[in-house]
Structure formats: structure tokens, C-alpha cells
Structure 1
Amino acid sequence: MTTRVAQLLDAVATHPDRANILRAQRGIEKESLRVDSHGLIAQTDHPHTLGSPLTHSMITTDYSEALLEFITPVSSSTAETLGFLNDIHHFVYHQLDHELLWPASMPCALTADNDIPVARYGSSNSARIKTIYRYGLGHRYGRRMQTIAGIHYNFSMPEPFWIWLQQTCGDTRPLNEFTTDRYLGLIRNFQRWSWMLVYLFGASPAVCSSFLKGRDDHGLIPTDAEHSTYHLPDATSLRMGGLGYNSEAQRSLQVCYNQLDSYIETLRAAIVKPHPAYQQIPKQLDNEYQQLSDCLLQIENEFYSPIRPKRVSRRGEPSLHALACGGIEYIEVRCLDVNPLLPVGIDDTQIRFLDLFLLYCLLDDSSACTPSEQSQQAFNFDAVVTRGRSSDLMLHKGDTTLTLEAWGLSIIEQLEPLAQVLDATIEPGYLDALKAQSAKLSDPTLTPSGRISEQLKSNSFFATSLKQAETTRDVFLSTPLPEPLATYFQQLATESHSRRLQIEANDDRPFEQFLQEFLEQYQSSALNLSSSD
């Protein structure tokens, strides 16, 4: 533990409101592919009984009509967060009509790219924006990549924490400026240690051979004589590597998290800068736009990163505008695989470790990041993605190199005093979560990727995942859906359909005008424009 964190823990130890100060808030966004009973991507529409994906607050879709996304409300209770996620799964399974939820991050058996249905949201202008954006992603990166599922972990600290921390640090700036500065520090520290999350929770060491169709440069090795499954022997998360959410075109972006203004301006410039390769994409096919623009990024969400600064924005307001106006409200961790060994892809042990890890990143000092350090971070991250379970892997830390185990255990040691405080102040379980991760660092076979790799010695990725999908479905369907829970989600679905219809009825501009005004929001470097919707 650093001197800075020790001082802050001493300061909070005697505070009468320490429980409210240290109680983290989180929300989970979990993606799952809908598949048919044979394990192929579902060709059916988003089930009407789940509500409108345009307006539903908890059940929507990501890239594909078949890629469900479940969103839990913000909560300061680990049990409540997992309970919501479990309830959403329970309700959805009772609506799927013989379909399954694919349990892994890497997708099911895929056929042609065009067989992957792009998500649809209705006939309103805002709905068309969402669908066209997805068409653009398909043209730029291929639809296959967009079928990869993940977990996004949204983390924030409550207002009492920020008031206490600012007073303790003797800072006199407006609170939102102080908060933004500390969240940026969290992000920089996170990037220094993000390889550790990929090692501990990576759960995609292998893929179905169908995912690799048309790619001869993947570098993976078949696990069986039939070449039905490909892997890297010591990989942790192929999802976070070159096969997953990665973009050569975006490598030119020098995104810096030292200041919010520079982060916003870098992304804004990419949204208004034409990219030669994307200028070759037809503007329209069959009278439908094929991308929002031919620029390096269509919108800020296209930028792939393991972590993002976020702020809740109004409907139609660019998230960069919300950040520019109000500062950072929470951070979104995006490097987490869905764990197919768990019924809902994540458990309380992982949640407690994530809260502990992120809070430490927030409390500790965080120096400005340099280009050379960013290169070192990228090397460490990529190395753990592809070779994280290799005993001879060496990581770079400043001017030195050390083993993943040695560095990881030193981080565990730093986190332990904070875990003790959280155990005593919030609830027991943080030290146990820390011990579970320590064991993984000493024994790679205990990691999700290690356990999955062991399973794949006796069966293919596809067969193993399909069996797990069937088992999970049977668990949820074996329990009747409680009537209050069914009524609650049915009401949410009905209300979401009503809001979608209202949005469609209120459209008062031709789509071409709406799209032009939408993109014009990014033209001002200050992003000081009103919402377009």
C-alpha cells in the first residue's frame, strides 16, 4: 500500500459516516447472443414480450438483433446488483420459446456474415441512427466481430465520498472538477494494471472455427483433428486481442487521459476526419444508408478501449457533449469477458474484487501518462491476452521486467489493507475475494481461461458452450417465474413500446436533415451545442 492510500485510510477510519463514504456504486451491462436449439445465431426478431430495445431501461440489444444486452440499475449493494441480473435472466428465459442464451463471449457457430442480423429499433429518426451506425460497424470491422459478447462494469463513488476526499486533500476547486480529475487518475492507474483483470477474469482462450472463416492470419492453433476449435495454449481473452474488439484504423488515435479536454478533442477530431478506407463504402444500398459518415469514427462509442469516462446524457445528446458540460460521472470497464462457468457470467467474488481494485486506483496517486508508458501498457496488455498463463511471461514495469505472478502478488499485497477496511465497514467478503485472485496468480489452472482450456481437451468449444447453454436454461426454467417479477417486467415492456410509438409520432424532420444535424453536433471543438433530439 502506498503512503497516499495509507493516509486516506487512516483519515476515513474514524469518520462517523465512513460506511456511506466507502460504499461503491455499480451497474452491470451483460451481453448474450440468442441462439436456436442447434446453437446457430437466432434469426428471429427481438421478442416483443421483452419490450422495445430502443427505450427499455434494462433489456435492449447491442450490435445484432440477436445480441441481447441486460442492464442493471445503479446499486450500492452487491447482492442487489446480482439479484437484478439474475431476475432479468429469469424473465428472459421464460420468453425465449426454445431459444438459448449463448454463455461465452466468443460466439456460436456462424455461417455467412449476412446471416448475422443487424439490430432494428423502429422507424423513428433516432432508431434509424442506431441501425445505420451498426451497418457501418459491419462494413468496417465485419459482422463477426460484432457478435462477441462482454460485460461492461460501471463504477462510481457516492457524493459523500467526494466531499470527504476533497476536504481531506485540501482541494478548493468546484467539486465536479475535482471529481473529474480523480476519475482520470483512476483511469491512468487502471491502464497500468489492466493486464491483471484480463488474466484473472479472461474467459475466451478459444473460438469456434466458423468465427475464423475468411481469415488466414489469425495465428491460432487447432485443438482437435477436426479443426473445429482454435486456441492459443496460454491465452486468457482472445476477445480483447486482434480477433476481438481491436481496430488497426484506430491505432493512429493518440488518446490521452491526462486531461478531459484533450480526450474529448481527440475523439471529436476523429468523428469529423474522413478516413480513406471508409470513403470506399457505398453511401446507400437498397435505399438505406450504410454508415453515419465516412470518418474515422462515426460516433464516440466506436472508439475501442478497455475503459471509458462516462456521464449520463440526454436522449440525442452526444456523450462527449455531456462530458464537456458536466465532467466525468462514472467510469465504464470494458475488458471483462462473460464467464461461461457462471449462470449470469459474473459473481459476487468478482464484483467485490472489481470494486476493491477500482477504489484503490481512485485513491492512489496517479502520475500523468507518457507515450512511452502507454506503449509499455499496450505491450503488457497484449502479452497477457495471448500468453497470460505462460510461466515464462515477463511484463515491463518502468525500467524493469518481472513475472506476472510476482507483479500480481505485489498488487494483491497493496490491496489488502483496503480490503480489510471494506470488510469491517461495508460487508465481509473483500478479503476472501482478494485471496481467490491470489490463488489464481499462483496457479493459472484456476483462472477461467485455464478451466475452460481444460474442458476443451475433451470436447469442442461449440459443443461445450452449447451444453452449458442448455444447462443454464434448464436451471432458470426449473423455477417458476414469480408473479410480481413477471408483472414488473411486463409493465416495463409495455411502457417501452409506448415510448417508442411516442418517439415515432413526434418525429418532425426528414431523416436526411436529422442526420445532418446529428453530425453537426461534433463540428464545434467545444461541443457547446444543444441536443438534436
Structure 2
Amino acid sequence: MKSFSQLVEHLSDAQGRTALLGISRGIEREALRIDPHGMLAQDPHPRALGSALTHSRITTDYSEALLEFITPVHADIDELLEGLTETHAFSVRNLNGQWLWPVSMPCYVGDEKDIPIAQYGSSNIGRMKTLYRKGLTLRYGALMQIISGVHFNFSVSHELWQRLYELSDKKRPLAQFISESYFGLIRNYRRLVWVLPYLFGASPALCGSFIKEQNSSFNFSSMGKGTLYLPYATSLRMSDLGYTNKEQENLNISYNSLDAYLAGVSQATHMPSVSFAQIGVKVDGEYRQLNANVLQIENEFYSPIRAKRVTRAGEKPSEALARAGVEYIEVRALDVNPFSPVGIEASQVRFLDLFLLYCLLSDSPPSNAEEENEMTANLKAVVSEGRKPGLELQRGGLAIGREAWLNELFGELKPLALLLDGDDNDYQVALETWFAAIADPDLTLSGRVLQEIKARNCDHGKWVMDLAHEYHRLLSDYPLSDEVIAGYRAEALASLASQSALEAEHSESFDDFLADYFGSHR
């Protein structure tokens, strides 16, 4: 196996550079709808935005108030972000006076019962999506489900796979080589995932209403009327306050191969849970959750990265992976960037390109229990105190300073940035931008958030509301051509028609639909 630097050198010809640059990317950005007083929207998903069940670019996540904007796949970063911005701009024009909440941690929530679960209509698939969310509510509470994030989808070109395959031993078919290589990327990503909350974590503070009666182990500092924060935190969204499932901690799903991963996911979706069984599945004729297993469905498994393949109609994610292997990976460790109207900006995308290519092209041995514990401990340390001076992490059983490790990583990434840039310097500028945050943690997103709040001497919520107002104005004024507007309106109408058609179909009972979906394992 060639080293990362050797592979970069091997790919440094014109064809290699073209193969490396052939990255396909997609972004999914979540954002809560709020009223001008900063309260969670209570009304249904705006009809002008189409059907959340069938629209390809505008949908909802857990809550009726939690919008999710999805880009098509793009090879060009500027086109990717322009498309995401256009979707935001069209949407804010149709929010009936509401705004988008521009950070990960939720706005003020008085009572969890005021968080409306997403509704997808009367078709069986729509009812299943809503029931799944009802199950999440009863299992974990509604509050953690309205935390917003940004997901980054990433795949490399067929040309790059061909070059890498030619350098391999060719002992297995290309498709298998690709899946194994993506799992190698995933293992290395998990070894280094702490880098992302360090640089891009943007939730060091939150509204005190989020804690409520939770028994938090964090020793929060406070400011203003109700802001809680940790002085060195990077991403409270990624901490135990965020989306966690204690039942999942003992699953030990392996990323050492596609087969091992699929076996682990299958086991988790068929493993009965004593505590979830106490909720009941169908009580007095009404469903409370899809089933009483540790995972109702595969999507309930929380991971900061996922192996993915586009599914066919009616196909589960694991069935798609088993059918044809890994097609792309989904990065799920990104907070919403509050300094961008669309939650992410170009220098982050370019850093992610470099970071993920590094994870792909570096040697990636199988992980073991000891290393898994290290990964977990490192991530936990960085999300809660990542900017702490002198912070030490663990690597291979030895202590290493956060700054020293980051300096090593950025040193490795520099030749790759040079290669990708060619005659321009976009990747080098992005790398230099985030390199500055190694020695000066105040330049990380979380550092900037705390500085802003303290400089303004205001509550976190007031600062976020000011941003929400500013971004609403910017996006409302963003120039959209008549053709673009007509395209969004047409897709909204087509999605509503698709949902109506699904609901008009003569179909089996909901009981039979669920039985068919879960097969003999239900």
C-alpha cells in the first residue's frame, strides 16, 4: 500500500489532477421556521413550498417546523452553493412572515408538546414517516430532534477509482474495491472526526430553555438572561445534549468491511429493546412507534458518517448497499455555520474535499476496541473543551497535543491543495484560512460565536435573532430570475400532485404495509 504522499505524487500528472478534481458533492441543510418573536412555528409546512413527502429539494426533517434544503449533486462548488442559496431565497419568500433560525441549537421552546411532528399525508409511506417520528418522540423526547445540522455528501470520480484500482493488487472486482476503499475512508474519518467540530463546531452556547429538567453533567457558565455556555466548547450539538441513544452505545457496529457493517445494522434493527417495549407499539388501536427494537429503522442509527447508495423505490438503505456497494458517503458532523446565510461556505467545502481525500488516500487498517474507545474519547473532549489551551488527545495509546496533531494534518494536506489548485489558489487559501485557527482557537467558528456574544453583551438568542433578521433580508433580496422562480413553483405543484396520486392509489392496509416492509422479522 502506497503512503498518502506517494499517492499524491503518483496522481500529480494532468490526468491524475483531473481525476482528483472530479468530486461530486451534495448538501442537506436543516433550519427551523420561527416567528418574528423567536418562537417555533406552529403552522403546517407552507403549501407554496410543495409536498415535504415528494419534493426533491425542500422537505422537512423531524418537525413540521424543521425545514431541510437538499441540493442536487454538483461537481462545481460555486454552482452547488448558488443552488443552495436559490432554494433558501425561494423559500424565505414563501414563509408568510416567518424567518429561518440560523444556528444548530433550537430557539426558545416553552413546552415540548409545542413541537409539531412532521406530517406527510395519508398514504402508507407518509403515515410511516410520521409514525417513525412519533416513535422518536416517545423514545428520546422532541427537543433533541429539532437540533439542526448540515450534511455533506461526497464521492470521487470513476477516473480516480480506475487509477487507484490499477495501483492495487486487483484481487477483487472493482466494485468491491470501491466499497472497501470507502470504508477505509470512513475508518480514517472516524479517527479524525474531532477535527471537524474543532474547526466548524458553532454551538458553544445555547438557550437555557433547552436544558429544562435534563440532568446535564456540564458545568455551564451563564450570561445575559438565559444563555448557557462552556468556555472552551465547540459543538454542544455533538455532545451528550444532542442526538444520542444510550441503547446504541452497546451495538458496536463495525466499519471494518461492508459485510460487517451490514450485519451490525441488521442486528440492531432486529434486536428487541426492553425499555422501548414499555412504550408499546400499538396500544388501544393506535400506533406509538414502528416497532420496539433498538432501532425502528436504519436511519435511527446515529453516526457522524454514513456509507450510502441511492435507493430504489421501496428499498432500504442497507439493501441498496448490499445490492451494489457504496456509492458515496454522508458527513454528518457539521454544525450550521451561523456566519453564512445558507449554513455553510465555500472554504469549508474545500477543506472537506481535502480532508476526505486524505482519509481516502491514507492507509486505513481495521479498528479495534481500544482504538474505538480513543475515537470516542477524543470526540467527546473536543466537543466540550476543544479550544482549551494545551488540550491533549490520544493517538495509538499515546498522548498528543491538539495543536501538534492539527499541524501534522495540515502539513499533509498542503501538497494536495497545491495539486488541486493548479493555476489558481482556492484550496490553498481555504487551507490557510483554517490553519490560522490551529494556533488561535478564537478563529474557529465556536470561538467566533462566543466572541460575538460577549462583545455585544447580549443573550445568545438575541444575537441569533439579529442574524435571522439579517439573513431573511439578504435572502429576500437575492436575485432570482423569473425562470428559476417558475422552476421552483412548478416543482412545488408537481410534488403536491405526486403526493395526491400516492394517496389516491388503492393500497393495502397500514398494518399490512408495515408487515410487508419489515418482512418476517417484524
TM-score for the superposition, normalised by structure 2:
0.97
1:505 aligns with 2:507: no
Provide the secondary structure at the position in 2 that maps to 1:456. Answer: helix
Provide the secondary structure at the position in 2 that maps to 1:270. Answer: helix
Q: What amino acid does structure 2 have at the position aligned with 1:112?
A: D
Cα distance per residue 1:378-415 (max 9 Å; x no partner): 00000000000100311011132121111111100011
- What is the distance in 2 between the residues matched to 1:237 and 1:296? 26
- What is the distance in 1 between the residues matched to 2:221 and 2:110? 19
Q: What amino acid does structure 2 have at the position aligned with 1:230?
A: L
1:83 aligns with 82
Q: CA deviation at 1:286?
A: 7.8
In the TM superposition, 1:337-352 aligns within 5 A as: 337-352=335-350
Preserved CA contact (<8 Å) 1:183 1:362: yes
Provide the secondary structure at the position in 1 that maps to 2:193. Answer: helix
- What is the distance in 2 between the residues matched to 1:470 and 1:284? 44
Q: Cα 1:507–1:375, aligned 2, differ >3 Å: closer, same or farther?
A: farther
- What is the distance in 2 between the residues matched to 1:258 and 1:475? 46
2:182 aligns with 183
Identify which range, 80-89 or 480-489, moves more after superposition.
Answer: 480-489
1:321 aligns with 2:319: yes
Q: Cα 1:208–1:179, aligned 2, differ >3 Å: closer, same or farther?
A: same
Preserved CA contact (<8 Å) 1:271 1:522: no
Q: CA deviation at 1:14?
A: 2.5
Preserved CA contact (<8 Å) 1:300 1:319: yes
User: For structure 1, which runs of at least 5 residues remain unmatched after alignment?
Assistant: 524-533
Q: CA deviation at 1:160?
A: 1.4
2:33 aligns with 34
1:455 aligns with 452
1:273 aligns with 271
Provide the secondary structure at the position in 2 that maps to 1:26. Answer: strand
Identify which range, 13-22 or 162-171, moves more after superposition.
Answer: 13-22
In the TM superposition, 1:243-282 aligns within 5 A as: 243-282=241-280
Residue from 308, 314, 332 that aligns with 2:306: 308
1:495 aligns with 2:498: no
Cα distance per residue 1:282-338 (max 9 Å; x no partner): 334685411100000001110111101111101221101111111111000000000
2:231 aligns with 233
Q: What amino acid does structure 2 have at the position aligned with 1:279?
A: A
- What is the distance in 2 between the residues matched to 1:286 and 1:142? 22
2:384 aligns with 386
Q: What amino acid does structure 2 have at the position aligned with 1:492?
A: E
1:415 aligns with 413
Identify which range, 76-85 or 10-19, moves more after superposition.
Answer: 10-19
2:436 aligns with 439
Give percent identity, aligned residues only. 44
Preserved CA contact (<8 Å) 2:280 2:292: no
- What is the distance in 2 between the residues matched to 1:76 and 1:221? 42
1:400 aligns with 2:398: yes
- What is the distance in 1 between the residues matched to 2:142 and 2:283? 17
In the TM superposition, 1:125-144 aligns within 5 A as: 125-144=124-143
- What is the distance in 2 between the residues matched to 1:490 and 1:233? 45
Preserved CA contact (<8 Å) 1:25 1:74: yes
Q: Cα 1:412–1:61, aligned 2, differ >3 Å: closer, same or farther?
A: same
1:429 aligns with 2:426: yes
Q: What amino acid does structure 2 have at the position aligned with 1:299?
A: I
Q: What amino acid does structure 2 have at the position aligned with 1:322?
A: A
Cα distance per residue 1:19-73 (max 9 Å; x no partner): 1443211100000000111111100110001010111110000000000000001
Q: CA deviation at 1:17?
A: 6.3
In the TM superposition, 1:14-53 aligns within 5 A as: 14-16=13-15, 18-53=17-52
Preserved CA contact (<8 Å) 2:70 2:84: yes
Q: CA deviation at 1:341?
A: 1.4
Preserved CA contact (<8 Å) 1:125 1:507: no
Q: CA deviation at 1:216?
A: 3.1
Q: Cα 1:285–1:70, aligned 2, differ >3 Å: closer, same or farther?
A: farther
Preserved CA contact (<8 Å) 2:123 2:502: yes
Q: CA deviation at 1:429?
A: 0.8
- What is the distance in 1 between the residues matched to 2:284 and 2:207? 32
Q: What amino acid does structure 2 have at the position aligned with 1:450?
A: G
Identify which range, 477-486 or 315-324, moves more after superposition.
Answer: 477-486
- What is the distance in 2 between the residues matched to 1:337 and 1:439? 20
Q: CA deviation at 1:506?
A: 2.2
- What is the distance in 1 between the residues matched to 2:448 and 2:224? 21
Alignment: residue pair count: 520
Preserved CA contact (<8 Å) 2:93 2:476: yes
- What is the distance in 2 between the residues matched to 1:370 and 1:510? 45
Q: CA deviation at 1:225?
A: 5.7
Preserved CA contact (<8 Å) 2:17 2:420: no
Q: CA deviation at 1:165?
A: 1.3
- What is the distance in 1 between the residues matched to 2:9 and 2:47? 53
- What is the distance in 1 between the residues matched to 2:17 and 2:437? 31
Q: What amino acid does structure 1 have at the position aligned with 2:516?
A: E
Q: CA deviation at 1:172?
A: 4.6
Preserved CA contact (<8 Å) 1:356 1:419: yes
Q: Cα 1:436–1:522, aligned 2, differ >3 Å: closer, same or farther?
A: farther
